[in-house]
């Protein structure tokens, strides 16, 4: 192991040649000795040299980690597989703040069979640490576990009663109460021996592990034999068990081949977080689903995220919980090492594959869609939570060095199509929540310069600040006559009745946010100076690295990935972008409709059909008469008329 201690800046950088070229695991520590980040490498020297490149070339968040650290140390290991295991152990032990942070969306219920007991019983539990227990799931809801157990014990009647009931029944020789009402099939029901019950438990586990086809065939054969022997009571028992099996199987549709045992991971991510949908597939059926949220501090690729997810999922997993196939959206760089690591843990071969076609690809799309919805819900919950909103505003105040928390924030975004259809949006958040009634949109002169467009928009908005301040401070506000009051006053010769007109922009903002980096922030700062309102705070958020820029600064402010303030700024930026795109689409749609409305004989219904098919005037202009004529209700004459009209200058 080598260790380097810190002097000013990044002088703790190891000397050339000091770092070995072997595979290993490294740790960055701060001045107090706390582990900040743990990583693995096939070649320690090559990997660590990336962190000690010139600071201005580093990703902003990597730079923050490197400059926060006070030392770096490494441990050489014999093989790449050993580095996987050691990295997992260190991350679990030290919980480094710059590594990805995992948070299960909830504590999921499982079905567990207590195999360590003399007479194993089936229970519903959230405790994954029952000694000797065999688990199935997780299930999305508790009632789903209970429903499955109710159906399963009709086919495989195993013990369901409590340990105290079991001991009392075995001591007294009287059946336990659940056994008396047919709800318990353990030895305490006095219907089977301990050995016979253990065999039924084994069948229960085999069925839940994916062996449903064998039991269906066996029960069908027994039912037919009993029916042929005219033992209709036994045949009815087998029939009821088959119906119970069908009911269990119908709760989880066959999604892959019946002999498929796999884990499938759907992942959705943005710059700050990711969500994982883990589908547990046994016997071709989805037997369990687990959702996980990941907080990202450093920027990592999708393949690196998959690597971390697999390590975390299987690092502490039992042999039986590792399937023979793992389906992922992107193949990690060390996929072969991961396969070897999983093979050592499972005792049999494990393959890691990307689902590219067929049923597996369709199931991956489903898992990814679920992950995307979970990510959106995660972000929405954070911004709607009062405590989180309060923390976000406080963090913003501190990070931007504001005199007070920014209770009213306005965010601006410019959107255009190659310099045409330029629009801008203004979204408003008050107390951390959107005020959609105060959103505004702007039409901007055509230009390809976003900074000029932003300057125009802010100049127009800031022109209203003083006037709206006066209107808001006035007790009466600006009084304007109503239309009816003017007519009544003319007839009755009475004073004109007036009503207060609502200020166009309501209140001055305490913080302006622009979508972009340093150039956009400087353009906005120029608009504030020219309008004489430099007292209004300003910042920009750049999407690529999620850094926050302040006017006049050469380096951005880096907020922690888990910061509530960063989530709020990201939500503002995304909402401004959404609103700008929506406004632009409406304008484009109006433009298309106005052009098509000039074509003789073309009504609204046909215009809508053309819009659905082509989407834009540009696409229509490129279409031939024959292509336009393919639409229902558009004949040769009308198609030629549309074509010639669109070609006119």
Residue 404 has a CB neighbour count (10 Å cut-off) of 9
Which of 182-186, 535-539, 603-607 ranks highest by mean pLDDT?
Answer: 535-539
Condensed to tens digits (0 to 9), the pLDDT of residues 188-212 reads 988 888 888 888 888 888 777 765 5
Is the model's pLDDT at 478 over the cut of 50?
A: no
- Predicted confidence at residue 544, as pLDDT, reads 59
pLDDT band at 146 (very low <50, low <70, confident <90, very high): confident
In whole numbers, what is the pLDDT of the chain averaged over residues?
77
Q: Tokens 């700062």 sit at which residue?
A: 525
Instruction: Locate the DSSP E strands across 358-500.
Output: 408-417, 420-430, 433-434, 440-443, 479-481, 498-500
Question: What length does the chain have?
Answer: 649
Count Cα atoms within 13 angstroms, Cβ side, for 250.
8
The radius of gyration computed from the CA coordinates of the chain, to the nearest angstrom, equals: 33
Q: What is the pTM of this model?
A: 0.51
Least confident of 94-108, 483-497, 601-615, 629-643: 483-497
Which comes out higher in pLDDT, residue 649 or 270? Answer: 270
Which comes out higher in pLDDT, residue 246 or 104? Answer: 246
Residue 229 has a CB neighbour count (10 Å cut-off) of 10
Is the model's pLDDT at 93 over the cut of 90?
A: no
- Predicted confidence at residue 444, as pLDDT, reads 77
- The closest alpha carbon to 275, from 128, 365, 384, 377, belongs to 377
Condensed to tens digits (0 to 9), the pLDDT of residues 266-314 reads 998 876 678 888 888 887 777 777 888 887 767 778 888 898 889 888 8
Query: Once rounded to an integer, what is the mean pLDDT over residues 376-398?
Result: 75
Give every CB contact of residue 107 below 8 A, 6+ residues apart in sequence. Answer: 126
Which comes out higher in pLDDT, residue 46 or 634? Answer: 46
Secondary structure (3-state) at 226: helix
Is the model's pLDDT at 490 over the cut of 80?
A: no
Is the model's pLDDT at 481 over the cut of 60?
A: no
Is the model's pLDDT at 22 over the cut of 70?
A: yes
pLDDT band at 327 (very low <50, low <70, confident <90, very high): very high
- The closest alpha carbon to 61, from 465, 550, 566, belongs to 566
Instruction: Locate the DSSP E strands across 507-634.
Output: 511-515, 537-541, 548-549
Q: Which long-range contacts (CB under 8 A, 24 or more apart) does 392-397 make?
A: 392/432, 392/563, 392/564, 392/565, 392/567, 392/568, 393/431, 393/432, 393/565, 393/568, 395/559, 395/563, 395/564, 395/565, 396/511, 396/565, 396/568, 396/569
Query: Once rounded to an integer, what is the mean pLDDT over residues 135-142?
Result: 72
Query: Once rounded to an integer, what is the mean pLDDT over residues 430-458?
Result: 80
pLDDT band at 615 (very low <50, low <70, confident <90, very high): low
41-58 burial by CB neighbour count: b if 16+ within 10 A, else e? bbebbebbeebeeeeeeb
Give the H/E segment covering residue 562: none
- Predicted confidence at residue 326, as pLDDT, reads 92
Q: Tell me the percentage of the chain whose pLDDT exceeds 90.
A: 3
Is the model's pLDDT at 9 over the cut of 60?
A: no
For 264-303, the three-class secondary structure string (H helix, E strand, C coil) is: EEEEEECCCEEEEEEEEEECCEEEEEEEEEEECCCCCCHH
- Predicted confidence at residue 203, as pLDDT, reads 80
336-349 burial by CB neighbour count: b if 16+ within 10 A, else e? ebbbbbbbebbeee
Is the model's pLDDT at 265 over the cut of 90?
A: yes
Can you tell me the distance from the alpha carbon of 307 to that of 334, in angstroms, rounded to the nearest whole number? 8
Least confident of 166-175, 427-436, 556-565: 556-565
Query: Once rounded to an integer, what is the mean pLDDT over residues 7-31?
Result: 80
Burial of 282 per CB tally in 10 Å (0-12, 13-18, 19+): buried
Is the model's pLDDT at 79 over the cut of 50?
A: yes
Can you tell me the distance from the alpha carbon of 180 to that of 163, in angstroms, rounded to the nearest whole number? 16
Query: Once rounded to an integer, what is the mean pLDDT over residues 96-110?
Result: 72
Which comes out higher in pLDDT, residue 630 or 247? Answer: 630
Instruction: Locate the DSSP E strands across 440-527.
Output: 440-443, 479-481, 498-500, 511-515
- Predicted confidence at residue 49, as pLDDT, reads 85
Secondary structure (3-state) at 39: strand
Give every CB contact of residue 66 below 8 A, 6+ residues apart in sequence. Answer: 10, 28, 51, 52, 55, 58
- Predicted confidence at residue 107, as pLDDT, reads 61
Least confident of 65-74, 339-348, 375-384: 375-384
The answer to whether 109 and 137 have CB atoms below 8 angstroms apart is: yes
- Predicted confidence at residue 240, as pLDDT, reads 72
Which comes out higher in pLDDT, residue 63 or 309? Answer: 309
Query: Once rounded to an integer, what is the mean pLDDT over residues 614-623?
Result: 65
- Predicted confidence at residue 487, as pLDDT, reads 40
First and final C-alpha spacing in the chain: 75
Query: Once rounded to an integer, what is the mean pLDDT over residues 456-469?
Result: 78
């Amino acid at each position: 192991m080598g260790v380097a201690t810190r002097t000013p800046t990044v002088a703790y950088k190891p000397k050339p040649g000091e770092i070995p070229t072997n595979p290993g695991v490294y740790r960055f520590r701060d001045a107090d000795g706390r582990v900040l980040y743990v990583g693995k490498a096939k070649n320690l020297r090559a990997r660590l040299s990336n962190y000690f490149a010139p600071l201005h070339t580093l990703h902003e968040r990597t730079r923050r980690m490197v400059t926060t650290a006070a030392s770096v140390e490494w441990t050489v290991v014999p093989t790449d597989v050993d580095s996987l295991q050691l990295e997992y152990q260190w991350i679990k032990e030290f919980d480094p703040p710059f590594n990805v942070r995992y948070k299960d969306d909830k504590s999921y219920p499982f079905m567990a069979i207590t195999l360590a007991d003399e007479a194993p019983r089936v229970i519903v539990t959230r405790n994954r640490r029952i000694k000797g227990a065999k688990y199935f799931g997780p299930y999305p809801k508790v009632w789903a576990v209970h429903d499955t157990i109710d159906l399963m014990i009709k086919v495989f009647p195993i013990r369901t009663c409590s340990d105290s009931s079991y001991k009392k029944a075995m001591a007294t020789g009287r059946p336990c109460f659940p056994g008396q009402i047919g709800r318990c099939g353990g030895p305490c029901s006095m219907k089977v021996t301990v050995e016979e019950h253990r065999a039924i438990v084994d069948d229960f586990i085999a069925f839940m592990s994916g062996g449903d086809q064998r039991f269906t065939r066996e029960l069908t054969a027994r039912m037919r034999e009993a029916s042929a022997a005219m033992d209709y009571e036994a045949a009815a028992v087998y029939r009821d068990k088959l119906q119970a099996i069908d009911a269990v199987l119908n709760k989880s549709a066959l999604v892959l081949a019946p002999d498929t045992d796999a884990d499938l991971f759907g992942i959705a991510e943005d710059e700050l977080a990711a969500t994982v949908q883990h589908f547990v597939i046994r016997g071709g059926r989805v037997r369990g689903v687990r959702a996980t949220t990941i907080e990202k501090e450093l920027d990592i690729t999708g393949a690196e995220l998959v690597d971390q997810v697999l390590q975390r999922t299987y690092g502490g997993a039992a042999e039986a919980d590792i399937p023979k196939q793992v389906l992922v959206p992107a193949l990690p760089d060390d996929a072969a090492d991961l396969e070897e690591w999983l093979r050592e843990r499972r005792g049999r071969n494990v393959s890691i594959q990307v689902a590219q076609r067929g049923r597996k690809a369709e199931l991956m799309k489903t898992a990814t869609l679920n992950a995307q919805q979970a990510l959106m819900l995660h972000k929405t919950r954070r911004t709607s939570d009062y405590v989180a909103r309060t923390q976000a505003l406080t963090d913003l105040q501190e990070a931007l060095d504001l005199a007070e928390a920014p209770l009213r924030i306005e965010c601006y975004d410019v959107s255009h199509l190659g310099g045409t259809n330029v629009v801008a949006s203004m979204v408003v958040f008050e107390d951390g929540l959107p005020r959609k009634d105060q959103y505004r949109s702007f039409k901007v002169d055509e230009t390809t310069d976003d900074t000029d467009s932003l300057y125009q928009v802010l100049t127009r908005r800031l022109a209203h600040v003083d006037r709206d301040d006066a209107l808001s401070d006035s007790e009466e506000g600006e009084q304007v006559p109503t239309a009816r009051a003017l007519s009544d006053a003319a007839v009755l010769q009475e004073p004109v009745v007036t009503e207060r007109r609502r200020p166009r922009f309501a209140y001055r903002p305490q913080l302006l946010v622009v979508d972009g980096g340093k150039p956009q922030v400087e353009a906005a700062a120029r608009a504030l100076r020219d309008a004489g309102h430099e007292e209004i705070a300003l910042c920009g958020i750049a999407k690529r690295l999620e850094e926050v820029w302040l006017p006049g600064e050469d380096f951005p402010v880096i907020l922690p990935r888990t910061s509530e303030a960063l989530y709020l700024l990201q939500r503002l930026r995304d909402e401004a972008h959404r609103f700008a795109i929506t406004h632009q689409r409406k304008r484009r749609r109006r433009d298309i409709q106005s052009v098509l409305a000039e074509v003789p004989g073309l009504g609204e219904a046909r215009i809508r059909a053309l819009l659905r098919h082509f989407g834009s005037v540009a696409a229509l202009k490129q279409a031939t008469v024959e292509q336009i004529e393919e639409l229902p209700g558009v004949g040769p004459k009308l198609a030629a008329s549309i074509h010639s009209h669109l070609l006119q200058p």
